[in-house]
Homo-oligomer: A and B are copies of this chain.
Amino acid sequence: MPSISKRGQQVPLSPFRKLAPLAEKAKAAGKHVYHLNIGQPDILTPPEALQQVQQANLKILEYSPAEGFLSYRKKLCEYYARFDVELNYEQVIVTTGASEAIQLVLLSCLNQGEEILAPEPFYANYNGFAHIADVQVCAITCDIETGFALPDAAAFERCLTPRTKAIFITNPNNPTGTFYGREVLEGLALLAKAYDLYLIVDEVYREFCYDGQPFFSALNLEGAEENVIVIDSVSKRYSACGARVGAVVTRNQAVLDAVSLYAKLRLSPPTLGQIVAEAAIDIGEAYLHEVKAEYDRRRMVVYNRLQQMPGVTSYLPGGAFYCFARFPIADADDFCQWLLSDFEYRGATVMLSPGAGFYATPGLGKDEVRIAYVLNVHDLEAAMDCLEEALRVYPGRLTETLIDEAIPAWG
């Protein structure tokens, strides 16, 4: 029997994937599971955009050009113009979701063994994409006590190695919901220019910035045109995760050339998804406005409820639809398993993503979880009731003394 590849056995998994069988078991036993672990929103996709698939009246479901339909690339430029970003369509390459965009960018920009520097906690699948490209994700640690604000430039400089090729951030951040404003980005751009690094910014949550904070795209960083590469996707902004339509956006011609070569290999991004995505750009502003208001309401529910739970540390996330929380427990993996296997409150329980999987540094995030607020306010309140009760009765809950003793281990 031929042997499997070593790398095929070492693919890093998303933090909640191993909990999935436990959730299935809980549901089979009649327990309701509130899913706060995933990034699949419950928001309706714009109906006009979905209808466009039938109105297009296709006779042959053909390949699109490898870089995406010309009409869609041009329409995307109109969309970016709303954020004062001026582009021509050749600077936009359509991909099969942000997942593929990241992979093509890593392959295009980094050789085997080179490194990207990302603030941790970070979206766990970045590890997997790096694994495929045979590169490393190195982490600069952020702290829940500061709402995961980015460390200063000097801290970044200390993390650079001769193999560092790019700084990679998600803005607003998944998994922390942290929002990075113009000054933060300008600081990163200075670093990128000083050290000849790519500045790769995953902006898939750009529509969801709260508290009146204006989103500032990395594509507007003057003088860093050769450094900046933006990752995009329609999955979250139009609740169209299944469209599998993302993009690589950059003004760096060499990157565009390389990404385009890789894109040609796999022939075409999904045709039907592109039709939905193109139509979605033309729907009224009201849709995105309402979706953002809905997430904002949910954000406040999660924030307020967490603030009221004894021993829980959290913060008001500025964007996206995630936040992190620190619980008075020793091991969030154990807690999340216990929630699914041993806990029930009013016939329900809650599924969370254990925090450690979002950190590259061993030992960090063990008492933290990511919460995705992808349920309506009513369900979210019920989920928070579950969580509050769970933290109250959890046999592994640390007492105040134990927490104080445990703190040095977190440091």
Query: In the complex, are the beta carbons of A266 and B99 less than 8 A apart?
Result: yes
Residues of B within 8 A of A108 (CB): 4-5, 8
Residues of B within 8 A of A272 (CB): 53, 242-243, 270, 272-273, 276
**A111-B266 contact given A45-B59, A261-B11, A272-B276, CB 8 Å threshold:** no
Query: In the complex, are the beta carbons of B243 and A61 less than 8 A apart?
Result: yes
Which of A125-133, A286-294, A362-370 faces chain B?
A125-133
Which of A36-44, A153-161, A300-308, A313-321 faces chain B?
A36-44
Answer whether residue A165 sits at the interface, using C-beta atoms and an 8 A cutoff. yes
In the complex, which residue of chain B has the Cβ closest to the Cβ of A53? B53
- Complex CA distance for A270 and B269, rounded to whole angstroms: 10
A322 to chain B, nearest CB (A): 16
Query: In the complex, are the beta carbons of A109 and B4 less than 8 A apart?
Result: yes
- Complex CA distance for A227 and B254, rounded to whole angstroms: 41
Query: In the complex, are the beta carbons of B11 and A258 less than 8 A apart?
Result: yes
- Complex CA distance for A125 and B243, rounded to whole angstroms: 25
- Complex CA distance for A5 and B59, rounded to whole angstroms: 40
Partner of A166, one of B2, B11, B59, B254: B2
Answer whether residue A1 sits at the interface, using C-beta atoms and an 8 A cutoff. yes
Residues of B within 8 A of A268 (CB): 97, 241-242, 244
Residue of A11, A42, A258 most packed against chain B (CB within 10 A) = A11
In the complex, which residue of chain B has the Cβ closest to the Cβ of A266? B99
Interface string of A260-275 (1 = CB under 8 A from B): 0110111111111100
Answer whether residue A255 sits at the interface, using C-beta atoms and an 8 A cutoff. yes
A400 to chain B, nearest CB (A): 39
**A270-B243 contact given A2-B197, A61-B276, A264-B14, CB 8 Å threshold:** yes
A49 to chain B, nearest CB (A): 8
Query: In the complex, are the beta carbons of B241 and A267 less than 8 A apart?
Result: yes
A177 to chain B, nearest CB (A): 20
- Complex CA distance for A264 and B16, rounded to whole angstroms: 11
Answer whether residue A71 sits at the interface, using C-beta atoms and an 8 A cutoff. no
**A239-B112 contact given A96-B270, A270-B270, CB 8 Å threshold:** no
A243 to chain B, nearest CB (A): 5
Residues of B within 8 A of A109 (CB): 2, 4-5, 8
Answer whether residue A50 sits at the interface, using C-beta atoms and an 8 A cutoff. yes
Answer whether residue A29 sits at the interface, using C-beta atoms and an 8 A cutoff. no
Residues of B within 8 A of A50 (CB): 58, 61
A66 to chain B, nearest CB (A): 9
Residues of B within 8 A of A70 (CB): none
In the complex, which residue of chain B has the Cβ closest to the Cβ of A245? B270
Residue of A53, A63, A259, A276 most packed against chain B (CB within 10 A) = A63
In the complex, which residue of chain B has the Cβ closest to the Cβ of A227? B2
In chain A, positions 74-117 with a C-beta closer than 8 Å to chain B are: 96-97, 99-100, 103, 107-112, 114
Question: What 4 pairs across the A-B complex have the smallest Cβ distances?
Answer: A242-B271, A8-B258, A11-B261, A128-B265
Question: Can you pick out 17 interface pairs between chain A and chain B where the beta carbons lie within 8 Å of each other?
Answer: A1-B252, A5-B258, A8-B258, A11-B258, A43-B60, A44-B59, A50-B58, A61-B276, A62-B242, A63-B241, A107-B132, A112-B112, A112-B134, A125-B265, A242-B272, A244-B268, A273-B273
